[in-house]
Chain A
Amino acid sequence: MNTGDSKQRKLLWGSVAVVALVVIATLIDKGSIGLQLILSGLTVGSIYALVAMGFSIIYSSTRVINFAQGGFSMLGGMLMYSLAVSGKLPMWLAFILAVLIVTALGAGFERVVIRPMKDHSVITVIIVTIGLSIFMTAVAKWIWGTDPVKIASFSGDKPLRLFGASLVPQSLWVFGLTLVAVALVFLFFNRTLLGKGMRAAADNPDAASLVGVSSSTSSLVAWTLAAGLGAAAGVVIAPINFAQYSAGTALGLKGFSAAVLGGLGSAPGAVVGGLVLGVLETITAGYLPSGYKDAVAFVILILVLLVRPQGLLGRPEEVKV
């Protein structure tokens, strides 16, 4: 083990320690108010985690950074509105349908737009995903207009009290969904042949295709999963945030920062990155003027890329010559 590695290790544990210290300091300094901030941070952080997982899954399979990821969440929320509020379907049915429709859209994008570009450079494909993101925003504006829309919370709005802090029931749905999603993604990549095959293809595409794991399947499954995760995130946060045609861009950027923080390509890293980003953001708003809140995501992004580009849980990229 060379000194570079141990330096990296120190950096990793150092950053973990810093985050833990910040959280503990907030709790000591502000007591239950601090707990309130942390709970709010974990709620929004869970959404970032789900979006970041989508980024990491697509990146690890195809090396593409999908900037339309936030758009999947936006569409999930808007479709939930159309199905549950305009269409008056029961909430559970609307939830499932909204996620399924966006998942199908994600798979469709992959087959129709992304797959035909497999011989183009990754940069080109990334730019195409930016175009996709703009397209989704424009279509959403055309279909649903510009007003934010209201979706009823899944189990009411009566706040729950926890050691002096309060939590709306919808937050519990957010936490629950994130846990289920993380568990399902873990099971998929570690216990199913397809999932393990995709991990193999991510490590070494040539060897994997030699044993029958095609990059085409990897790419399709990755996009489908990412769209599904993004849509689920969008649906569950919509009652708290008000779904709106423009919600995709900011969420995509924050989710991207979270994915980079955790290690682009690492699904567990995405979860860690998302939660850490959410908590740090909210604690910052509690101490500094609230305008700095959005800057946190981008400061973290720059710091990570400068100091430890592979993020907290990622492995350093090796370029073989």
Chain B
Amino acid sequence: MLLKKHGWKLPMILLCTLVAVSLSVVGCGKQTVDASKSVYKIGAVLSLSGPAAPLGLPEQNALLMLQDQLNASTGVNGHKVQFLIEDDESNPAKAAAAIAKLINQEGVAAMIGSSSTGATLAMVPVAMSSQVTLVCCAAGTAITKPPKKYVFRTPPTDSMAIDKVLQYLTGTLKVQKIAILHDANAFGTGGADELAAKAPAKGITVVANESYGSTDTDMTAQLTKIQQTPAQALVVWGTNPGPASIAKNMQQLGMKIPFVGSHGIANKTFITLAGTAANGVVFPAGKMLIPSSIPAGSAWRNAVDKFTADYKAKYGKDADTFAGHGWDAGLIITTAMKTAGTDKALIQSTIQKTKGLAGIDGIFNYSATDHDGLNTSDLMMIKIVNGAWTEAK
């Protein structure tokens, strides 16, 4: 009856619809992004200029590499992913303005940033009040202490780095008296305070605690004060270029006590700036800097090997820990969005349930009380010998 009325039109239409539907269903499993699906927008506020630029630029590189790799394959459940990256110029006020803009004007589903503690702390209230998950790349303890529902982090925390340094001071250097020289900003002051608080319990006395401005270039005044104390080691807590100037000043003054830095100097820039003064400097860092320290064949090792090879091929330089922080932040959010889509509350709860995710910084395990994800065993102590990194034994 139908055939008689409409001829071959109806069956042809039915057949085409059937083919189209089955193709799109099959297409979901194929290695392609579906251009008809909405683009997942993820905001990122990073320090691309100012003192924290050496941290933010590699983070941006890693995120863009992740974006390219995802969009070239399955995307996130077939959705293309776009990281909208803003520069906060290492300035907390600009960071707060940038996150507000990304959340309110761009309507991003989740946020990444910033590169340093000060800027991140300025962003936290905005993320909390807008109820948007913020995965940061900064190590300041205050960011997750007390834990805040929407704030997670990827780098090992300052606390973990400090514990690792104390382990090294007591276990390897075996010193009882140390001096601290720290950057006057949030990162430096927070680290110095925590170090000074934890040291006595490990049998270490802090005989001097000096600070310097982030843009200071001559620390001989502070170092001469420290030379007058019985300090057996100097712990320098800050990011480039301050510690490089300090290393050069120590060389100039002929100071022989060991220089133990923070994870803020875990990059080649420190070695370039400090020149020969960098030799002998020790600092805590993620194991990805010396991949051979991670067990071969493990998911973590495989992830690190692939990441470092891809990064080198794409950017022509070695990936550092900061690139790893950026990658992991992007990885954690995009992994969560595979099941949560753009539902902001669901993204938060999914990330919070992450277990055993092998990133670059380590294996991430989050929980309601732990938004840091890593622990001290994800770190190692590195020594600079002849301008290169080696495991500090």
A: which residues have CB within 8 A of B?
30, 33, 36-37, 40, 43-44, 141, 145-148, 150, 157, 159, 166-168, 240-242, 244, 246, 250, 282, 285-286, 289-291, 293-294
Distance, CA A147 to CA B240, complexed state (A): 9
Q: Across the interface, which residues of A come within 8 angstroms of B225, CB to CB?
A: 33, 286
Which secondary structure dominates where chain A touches chain B? helix
Q: A33-B227, A150-B272 are in contact. Are A242 and B241 (CB under 8 A)?
A: yes
Task: Tell whether, in the assembled complex, residue A290 and residue B252 are in contact, meaning their CB atoms are under 8 Å apart.
Answer: no
Q: A148-B273, A290-B210 are in contact. Are A37 and B221 (CB under 8 A)?
A: yes
Closest CB of chain B to A97's CB: distance in Å?
23
Q: Across the interface, which residues of B come within 8 angstroms of A145, CB to CB?
A: 53
List B165-217 residues whose CB lies under 8 Å from chain A. Answer: 184, 210-213, 215-217
Of the candidates A157, A241, A244, A282, which one forms a contact with B276 in the assembled complex, judged by CB atoms under 8 Å apart?
A: A157
Task: Tell whether, in the assembled complex, residue B269 and residue A289 are in contact, meaning their CB atoms are under 8 Å apart.
Answer: no
Distance, CA A289 to CA B54, complexed state (A): 28
Distance, CA A282 to CA B218, complexed state (A): 9
Task: Tell whether, in the assembled complex, residue B272 and residue A285 are in contact, meaning their CB atoms are under 8 Å apart.
Answer: no
Q: Across the interface, which residues of A come within 8 angstroms of B116, CB to CB?
A: none
Q: Across the interface, which residues of B come within 8 angstroms of A286, CB to CB?
A: 221, 224-225
Task: Tell whether, in the assembled complex, residue A146 and residue B50 are in contact, meaning their CB atoms are under 8 Å apart.
Answer: yes
Task: Tell whether, in the assembled complex, residue B254 and residue A250 are in contact, meaning their CB atoms are under 8 Å apart.
Answer: no
Shortest Cβ distance from A148 into B: residue: B241
* Among all A-B residue pairs, the 3 with the closest Cβ atoms: A285-B221, A241-B217, A146-B53
Task: Tell whether, in the assembled complex, residue B217 and residue A240 are in contact, meaning their CB atoms are under 8 Å apart.
Answer: yes
Task: Tell whether, in the assembled complex, residue B253 and residue A159 are in contact, meaning their CB atoms are under 8 Å apart.
Answer: yes
Shortest Cβ distance from A141 into B: residue: B49
Q: Across the interface, which residues of A come within 8 angstroms of B220, CB to CB?
A: 36-37, 40, 282
Distance, CA A290 to CA B240, complexed state (A): 18
Of the candidates B210, B212, B221, which one forms a contact with A282 in the assembled complex, judged by CB atoms under 8 Å apart?
A: B221
Q: Across the interface, which residues of A come within 8 angstroms of B245, CB to CB?
A: 241-242
Task: Tell whether, in the assembled complex, residue B254 and residue A40 are in contact, meaning their CB atoms are under 8 Å apart.
Answer: no
Distance, CA A33 to CA B215, complexed state (A): 23
Q: Across the interface, which residues of B come within 8 angstroms of A290, CB to CB?
A: 184, 210-213, 216, 219, 221-222
Q: 12 additional contacts, CB 8 Å, given A290-B184, A291-B184?
A: A150-B272, A150-B273, A240-B218, A241-B245, A242-B217, A242-B245, A244-B241, A282-B218, A290-B210, A290-B219, A293-B213, A294-B213
Distance, CA A224 to CA B253, complexed state (A): 38
Distance, CA A286 to CA B273, complexed state (A): 25
Distance, CA A282 to CA B224, complexed state (A): 11
Q: A242-B217, A290-B213 are in contact. Are A150 and B222 (CB under 8 A)?
A: no
Q: Across the interface, which residues of B come within 8 angstroms of A240, CB to CB?
A: 217-218, 248
Q: Across the interface, which residues of A come within 8 angstroms of B218, CB to CB?
A: 40, 43-44, 240-241, 282
* 7 chain-A/chain-B pairs, Cβ below 8 angstroms: A33-B228, A44-B218, A146-B49, A147-B53, A250-B215, A282-B218, A290-B212
Shortest Cβ distance from A237 into B: residue: B217
Query: Does B132 interact with chain A (Cβ within 8 Å)?
Result: no
Query: Does B130 interact with chain A (Cβ within 8 Å)?
Result: no
B: which residues have CB within 8 A of A?
48-50, 53-54, 184, 210-213, 215-222, 224-225, 227-228, 240-241, 244-245, 248, 251-254, 269, 272-273, 275-277
Which of B212, B248, B254 has its CB near the most chain A CB atoms (within 10 A)?
B248
Task: Tell whether, in the assembled complex, residue B50 and residue A168 are in contact, meaning their CB atoms are under 8 Å apart.
Answer: no
Task: Tell whether, in the assembled complex, residue A291 and residue B252 are in contact, meaning their CB atoms are under 8 Å apart.
Answer: no
Task: Tell whether, in the assembled complex, residue B254 and residue A166 are in contact, meaning their CB atoms are under 8 Å apart.
Answer: yes
Task: Tell whether, in the assembled complex, residue B248 and residue A157 are in contact, meaning their CB atoms are under 8 Å apart.
Answer: yes
Q: Across the interface, which residues of A come within 8 angstroms of B272, CB to CB?
A: 150
Distance, CA A246 to CA B217, complexed state (A): 13
Which of A146, A250, A294 has its CB near the most chain B CB atoms (within 10 A)?
A146
Which of A40, A244, A282 has its CB near the most chain B CB atoms (within 10 A)?
A40
Of the candidates B48, B253, B273, B276, which one forms a contact with A36 in the assembled complex, judged by CB atoms under 8 Å apart?
A: B253
Closest CB of chain A to B345's CB: distance in Å?
37
Q: Across the interface, which residues of B come within 8 angstroms of A44, CB to CB?
A: 218
Closest CB of chain A to B129's CB: distance in Å?
31
Closest CB of chain A to B109's CB: distance in Å?
30
Q: Across the interface, which residues of A come within 8 angstroms of B54, CB to CB?
A: 147
Closest CB of chain A to B186's CB: distance in Å?
14
Which of A43, A147, A294 has its CB near the most chain B CB atoms (within 10 A)?
A147
Which of B50, B212, B241 has its CB near the most chain A CB atoms (within 10 A)?
B241
Distance, CA A44 to CA B245, complexed state (A): 14
Shortest Cβ distance from B244 into A: residue: A242
Task: Tell whether, in the assembled complex, residue A157 and residue B251 are in contact, meaning their CB atoms are under 8 Å apart.
Answer: yes
Task: Tell whether, in the assembled complex, residue A242 and residue B221 are in contact, meaning their CB atoms are under 8 Å apart.
Answer: no
Task: Tell whether, in the assembled complex, residue A291 and residue B217 are in contact, meaning their CB atoms are under 8 Å apart.
Answer: no
Q: Across the interface, which residues of A come within 8 angstroms of B48, CB to CB?
A: 146
Task: Tell whether, in the assembled complex, residue A40 and residue B217 are in contact, meaning their CB atoms are under 8 Å apart.
Answer: no
Q: Across the interface, which residues of B come within 8 angstroms of A244, CB to CB?
A: 241
Q: Across the interface, which residues of A come within 8 angstroms of B253, CB to CB?
A: 36, 159, 166
Distance, CA A145 to CA B54, complexed state (A): 11
Task: Tell whether, in the assembled complex, residue A33 and residue B224 are in contact, meaning their CB atoms are under 8 Å apart.
Answer: yes
Q: Across the interface, which residues of A come within 8 angstroms of B240, CB to CB?
A: 148
Q: Across the interface, which residues of A come within 8 angstroms of B219, CB to CB?
A: 290
Closest CB of chain A to B153's CB: distance in Å?
24
Distance, CA A157 to CA B219, complexed state (A): 16
Closest CB of chain A to B387's CB: distance in Å?
13
Q: Across the interface, which residues of B come within 8 angstroms of A246, CB to CB?
A: 50, 215
Task: Tell whether, in the assembled complex, residue A168 and residue B252 are in contact, meaning their CB atoms are under 8 Å apart.
Answer: yes
Q: Across the interface, which residues of B come within 8 angstroms of A148, CB to CB?
A: 240-241, 273
Which of B212, B218, B240, B251 has its CB near the most chain A CB atoms (within 10 A)?
B218
Task: Tell whether, in the assembled complex, residue A147 and residue B213 are in contact, meaning their CB atoms are under 8 Å apart.
Answer: no
